[in-house]
Structure 1
């Protein structure tokens, strides 16, 4: 079995595929669920996709060629699984029920200020979720997951200029949606 030599990458040394999978799940599990949620907008479905992602990682671990980081590889698998789900007939027949809780923790504010800030963040994220998938995915990866344009372009197999264009179009569309929803401010 050819498990990646992680000593040179500053990562723990792995003995078995199970060790690698355990580490990947601990390191990237929450990020995979969050990313999946941004596509499917349902917590349970995002968790199911996360399981599928890590099963796929396990089966294809020997094929990992070290051309990218584990993070980029796992994000790419997640994006593909999400797109597969969105194209599936069963997904198109499921009603959206869950709402995303606030992703950010804020500093010390009064209860009223905190409540208003939480409502604004939730409304902004709801507007992000209403963007077309091509714009939504780059907005979420750039702003919420804090990935670089280069990482996003590798993950989505796009040119960097395409990612920049989608970011610009996404910000413009989000600004329009926010103004339409009565939320003022700059994106």
Structure 2
């Protein structure tokens, strides 16, 4: 690889970090519920991206490729650390959290409960819900990222929403 090729590769990677870094971190956080782990996962994805960039086949966009790698890395993380999921770990609140008004605190608790319920859904439903609602990908983009048919995305969204609703109702969620 020439010096110019290496520079182009570094510039492309830097643009990925600017354009997609926050999205990738959000996806990783929704899987792990741990900010440090989500940052580590994104870093691992970017390293893989850099080393595999020459093998990118342009069958999808860079964004869908990076999201797919992030999801795979998250799945690997969950497999390696599934024992951690036995116990729910309370995160230490930031100073800012201590200053929240009552309404903001209630909204945060509601969102946290929703994420906990979402995390307990089967992976195939959790994936499409995260990509659709949190990453705002279209159903076509989701089908590309997950390499599944458009109709499969539709049915998983419907089934995932129903499962989420049932689990929230059973947990007496009032949001």
Q: Under a length normalisation based on structure 2, what TM-score does the superposition of the two structures give?
A: 0.82
Residue of structure 2 equivalent to 1:133: 123
The Cα shift of 1:40 comes to 2.4
Residue of structure 2 equivalent to 1:50: 42
Q: 1:177 aligns with which of 157, 167, 173?
A: 167
Q: State the structure with bigger RCO (CA 8 A, min sep 6), 1 or 2.
A: 2
Q: 2:53 aligns with which of 49, 61, 77?
A: 61
Residue of structure 1 equivalent to 2:134: 144
1:81-105 Cα distance to aligned partner (Å, 9 max, x none): 12222233xx133355365x9xxxx
Q: Map 1:27-38; keep pairs closer than 5 Å.
A: 27-38=19-30
- Any conservation in 2 of the 1:41–1:98 contact (CA below 8 Å)? no
Gaps of at least 5 residues in structure 2 are 94-100
The Cα shift of 1:171 comes to 0.6
The Cα shift of 1:57 comes to 0.6
The Cα shift of 1:184 comes to 4.1
Q: Map 1:10-159; keep pairs closer than 5 Å.
A: 16-88=8-80, 91-95=81-85, 96-97=88-89, 111-159=101-149
Structure 1 CA distance for aligned equivalents of residues 129 and 106 of structure 2: 23
The Cα shift of 1:35 comes to 0.8
1:110-154 Cα distance to aligned partner (Å, 9 max, x none): x43333333222222221122111111111110111111111111
Structure 2 CA distance for aligned equivalents of residues 174 and 122 of structure 1: 14
Structure 1 CA distance for aligned equivalents of residues 109 and 79 of structure 2: 31
Name the structure with the higher helix share.
Answer: 2
Gaps of at least 5 residues in structure 1 are 2-13, 102-110
Q: Under a length normalisation based on structure 1, what TM-score does the superposition of the two structures give?
A: 0.77
RMSD: 2.3
Higher deviation after alignment, 118-127 or 162-171? 118-127
The Cα shift of 1:67 comes to 2.4
Q: Map 1:153-168; keep pairs closer than 5 Å.
A: 153-168=143-158
The Cα shift of 1:72 comes to 0.6
